[in-house]
């Protein structure tokens, strides 16, 4: 006779430890851990020495050492509120596996199949994790973080062997989902492989069905990223490879293996803590019956006294339940107490890192993996892990070799400043560049070098306010993504993003009005931004660099010359380098107004003149052409040297 779980739920005779309750009772409501202290910006990483003792969660998350200023307190906390709010699925169900082969055999089959990454999580082999991301993605994203972890745990329910199956994914269900639905889906699975196949297909469907909202409608961000707004400026076609340092992709797998090794059980068996003897030889699966034998001590969580066996994890000196461990881990990550040090009892070759998917949702695990691997790498070579603004791959950024503060993504090729994620701007600091480009873009638009007389200050229906050139032909609202023409406010695209008032979810909407539904439009006089002697030369360099036709023309001419002049092909990258350095170098001189920088102004102007001569004769080189391009190469490296020195 098979007893359904719901029947047992109603029965008062069943030991509480084995009753499967609706997930709301014990699922992780991470939102509960969000304290008012957490701010709503994206995660900030602040490097500090690791905190010796774990901060109790009641005491708040702010730590301040005596040596530190009070005001620096909040900076020591990693803001993970966004991570905790990220879409995810973390749902359990229980499966009767009394008719299956032994779990060990099932696991061996899965391992032999080699499509998923399978690991036992404890010495007793009661817990198992299966990374099924590859099944969900195909081979499309070999470098990405895990998107589906399945954790499987043995449990005994009414004397029958059961499996507790956890679906842990950073993809949210695209429709209704609950533990009952999960149980229904897995009801007829005849072995572990089928469970894995069903769950990866389910998550793949969610992934297909989900529509990702652009970041512009994130209520916590006032604007799109620079890359989203100005993709062209990041392209390798317009950026010098001489000025960039290639950033190799840092695969999630590589980061995980760094952390796995750090948390590996490598103690000699005799050095381990003595195991606590509970005098119950079958405590992993069977609970003692209190009524028959009241003297036997029940296993319980050392923090909350929870006695659900299947929720307990064995540590060196105590047992802790999943909920308490999760809370503890959240506190530790927030306090940047990394790498996490939780003394799980491990088998040989097992790593505490691999137990985490059984306890915390994937978005938090992936976030932890990133910051902990970053910290670990920083200790090794001072490097850093950054995210490519375009393809979003994680990349290793080595600041020691990055003399121009510019990275180029090894995977997609774009160039960017890893500090501010804007386009390359050496020799300007990030803040100097922000000032400069703000002034520049108010005054000019790319390829339009006439001065702007008037700006339109427009407040969109979504509440976002922007200032645009009144003669611009296209603008996009930074709040909702409506695309319109600033000259006459005509809508250029119908779709935009909005938030559902009830759920807060991002929804795609269609604009019915033919003109931008602006709350307010005013014409304002464009203030004079940049001195003409600077803007003229910068504008010319900028226009040449970003003109696709001029670039193509030039490169064609270079190809024709390559059999006549040795090394002439170098001019393709020198062109991009000279034009970038003239523009950004003059901007630097203008913004910084330093004495030693001012001395560079005539040199930069000379470099530009030299370049224009090359550009003019490239179609029909005059005699001594090689002397001139060798001269410009020399002059360029001299200017670069000086800029590096001032910058150092
Ligand atoms: Zn507990
Ligand atoms: Zn990339
Ligand atoms: Zn920057
Ligand atoms: Zn808007």
Task: Tell me what pLDDT residue 143 has.
Answer: 57
Give the number of the ligand closest to the Cα of residue 413: 2
Task: Tell me what pLDDT residue 139 has.
Answer: 62
Residue among 361, 346, 327, 429 nearest 57 (CA): 327
CA distances from 24 to 67, 322, 405, 542, 613 (A): 44, 14, 48, 58, 73
List residues, by chain if needed, whose CB lies under 5 Å from ion ligand 1: 301, 303-304, 306, 321, 324
Give the number of the ligand closest to the Cα of residue 306: 1
Give the number of the ligand closest to the Cα of residue 236: 2
The tens digit of pLDDT for each residue in 604-645 reads 999 999 999 999 999 998 888 889 989 999 999 999 999 988
Under 8 Å between Cβ of 27 and 323: no
Instruction: Find residue 69's DSSP bridge partners.
Output: none
The tens digit of pLDDT for each residue in 578-597 reads 999 999 999 999 998 888 88
Please list the helix, strand and coil fractions of the chain in percent, rounded to the nearest 5, in that order.
40, 15, 45
State ipTM.
0.73
Give the number of the ligand closest to the Cα of residue 321: 1
Cα angle 392, 226, 508 (rounded to 5 degrees) comes to 75
Which secondary-structure segment (H or E) carries 485? none
Strand 245-247 vs strand 407-409: parallel, antiparallel, or unpaired? parallel
Measured in angstroms, how far is the CA atom of residue 20 from the centroid of ligand 1? 17
Which secondary-structure segment (H or E) carries 220? none
What are the residue ranges spanned by the domains of the chain?
Answer: 226-251+381-429, 453-525, 532-647
Name the DSSP class of 573. H
Measured in angstroms, how far is the CA atom of residue 44 from the centroid of ligand 3? 16
Q: Give the CA radius of gyration of the chain.
A: 30
Measured in angstroms, how far is the CA atom of residue 485 from the centroid of ligand 1? 58
Measured in angstroms, how far is the CA atom of residue 412 from the centroid of ligand 2? 4
Measured in angstroms, how far is the CA atom of residue 433 from the centroid of ligand 2? 22
Rounded CA separation 80/544 (Å): 44
| Cβ neighbours of 191 (radius 10 Å) | 17
Give the number of the ligand closest to the Cα of residue 231: 2
Task: Tell me what pLDDT residue 556 has.
Answer: 94
Measured in angstroms, how far is the CA atom of residue 504 from the centroid of ligand 4? 17
Give the number of the ligand closest to the Cα of residue 387: 2
Strand 454-459 vs strand 415-416: parallel, antiparallel, or unpaired? unpaired
Measured in angstroms, how far is the CA atom of residue 575 from the centroid of ligand 2? 23
Measured in angstroms, how far is the CA atom of residue 311 from the centroid of ligand 1? 9
Give the number of the ligand closest to the Cα of residue 421: 3
Task: Tell me what pLDDT residue 36 has.
Answer: 39
Task: Tell me what pLDDT residue 395 has.
Answer: 86
Low-confidence ranges of the chain (pLDDT < 70): 1-76, 139-144, 210-224, 265-297, 382, 445-452, 503-504
Measured in angstroms, how far is the CA atom of residue 320 from the centroid of ligand 1? 5
Segments in 241-309 forming alpha helices (H) = 252-262
**How is 577-624 classified by DSSP, letter by letter?**
HHHHHHHHHHHHHHHH--HHHHTTHHHHHHHHHHHHHHHHHSSS--TT
Measured in angstroms, how far is the CA atom of residue 227 from the centroid of ligand 4? 19
Under 8 Å between Cβ of 109 and 35: no
Q: Reduced to 3 states, what is the DSSP secondary structure of residue 369?
A: helix
Number of residues that this document lists for the chain = 648
Name the DSSP class of 224. -
Task: Tell me what pLDDT residue 297 has.
Answer: 61
Give the number of the ligand closest to the Cα of residue 389: 2
Give the number of the ligand closest to the Cα of residue 423: 3
Task: Tell me what pLDDT residue 76 has.
Answer: 67
């Amino acid at each position: 006779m098979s007893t359904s779980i719901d029947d047992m739920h109603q029965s008062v005779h069943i030991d509480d430890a084995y009753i499967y309750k609706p997930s709301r009772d014990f699922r992780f409501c991470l939102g509960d851990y969000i304290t008012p202290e957490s701010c709503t910006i994206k995660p900030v990483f602040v490097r500090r020495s690791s905190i010796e003792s774990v901060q109790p969660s009641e005491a708040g998350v702010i730590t301040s050492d005596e040596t530190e200023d009070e005001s620096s307190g909040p900076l020591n906390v990693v803001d993970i509120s966004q991570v905790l709010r990220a879409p995810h699925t973390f749902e359990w169900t229980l499966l009767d596996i009394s008719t299956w082969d032994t779990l060990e055999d099932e696991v061996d089959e899965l391992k032999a199949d080699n499509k998923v990454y399978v690991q036992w999580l404890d010495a007793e082999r009661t817990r198992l994790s299966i990374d099924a991301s590859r099944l969900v993605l195909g081979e499309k994203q070999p470098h990405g973080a895990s998107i589906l972890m399945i954790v499987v745990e043995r449990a005994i329910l009414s004397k029958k062997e059961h499996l507790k199956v956890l679906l842990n994914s950073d993809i949210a269900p695209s429709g209704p989902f609950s533990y009952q639905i999960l149980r229904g889906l897995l009801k007829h699975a005849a072995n572990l492989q089928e469970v894995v196949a069903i769950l990866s297909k389910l998550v793949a469907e969610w992934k297909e069905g989900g529509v990702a909202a652009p970041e512009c409608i994130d209520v916590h961000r006032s604007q799109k990223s620079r890359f989203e707004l100005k993709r062209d400026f990041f392209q390798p076609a317009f950026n010098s490879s001489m000025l960039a340092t290639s950033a190799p992709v840092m695969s999630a797998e590589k980061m995980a293996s760094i952390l796995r090794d750090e948390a590996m059980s490598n103690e000699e068996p005799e050095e381990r803590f003595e195991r606590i003897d509970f005098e119950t030889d079958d405590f992993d699966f069977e609970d003692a019956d209190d009524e028959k034998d009241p003297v036997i001590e029940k296993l319980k969580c050392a923090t909350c006294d929870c006695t659900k066996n299947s929720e307990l994890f064995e540590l060196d000196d105590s047992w802790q339940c999943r909920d308490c461990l999760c809370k503890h881990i959240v506190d530790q990550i927030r306090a940047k107490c990394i790498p996490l040090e939780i003394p799980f009892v491990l088998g040989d070759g097992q790593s505490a890192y691999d137990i985490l998917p059984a306890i915390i949702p994937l978005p938090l695990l992936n976030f932890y993996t990133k910051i902990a691997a970053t910290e670990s790498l920083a200790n090794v070579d001072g490097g850093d892990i950054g995210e490519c603004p375009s393809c979003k791959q994680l990349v290793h950024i080595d600041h020691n070799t990055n003399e121009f503060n510019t990275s180029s993504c090894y995977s997609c090729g774009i160039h960017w400043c890893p500090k501010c994620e804007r386009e390359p701007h050496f020799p300007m600091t990030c803040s100097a560049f922000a000032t400069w480009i703000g002034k520049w873009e108010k005054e000019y638009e790319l390829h339009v070098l006439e001065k702007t007389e008037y700006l339109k200050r427009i407040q969109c229906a979504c509440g976002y306010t922007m200032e645009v050139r009144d003669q611009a032909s296209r603008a996009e609202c930074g709040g909702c993504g409506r695309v319109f023409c600033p000259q006459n406010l005509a809508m250029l695209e119908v779709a935009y993003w909005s938030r559902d008032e009830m759920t807060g979810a991002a929804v795609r909407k269609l604009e019915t009005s033919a003109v931008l539904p602006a709350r307010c439009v005013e014409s304002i006089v464009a203030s004079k931004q940049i001195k003409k002697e600077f803007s003229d030369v910068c504008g010319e360099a900028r226009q040449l660099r970003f003109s696709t036709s001029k670039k193509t023309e030039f490169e064609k001419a270079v190809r024709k010359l390559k059999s006549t002049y040795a090394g002439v092909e170098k001019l393709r990258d020198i062109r991009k380098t000279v034009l970038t350095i003239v523009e950004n170098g003059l901007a630097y001189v203008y913004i910084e107004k330093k004495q030693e920088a001012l001395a560079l102004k005539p040199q930069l102007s000379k470099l530009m003149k030299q370049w224009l001569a090359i550009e003019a004769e490239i179609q029909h080189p005059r005699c001594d052409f090689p002397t001139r391009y060798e001269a410009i190469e020399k002059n360029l490296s001299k200017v670069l040297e000086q800029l590096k020195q001032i910058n150092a």
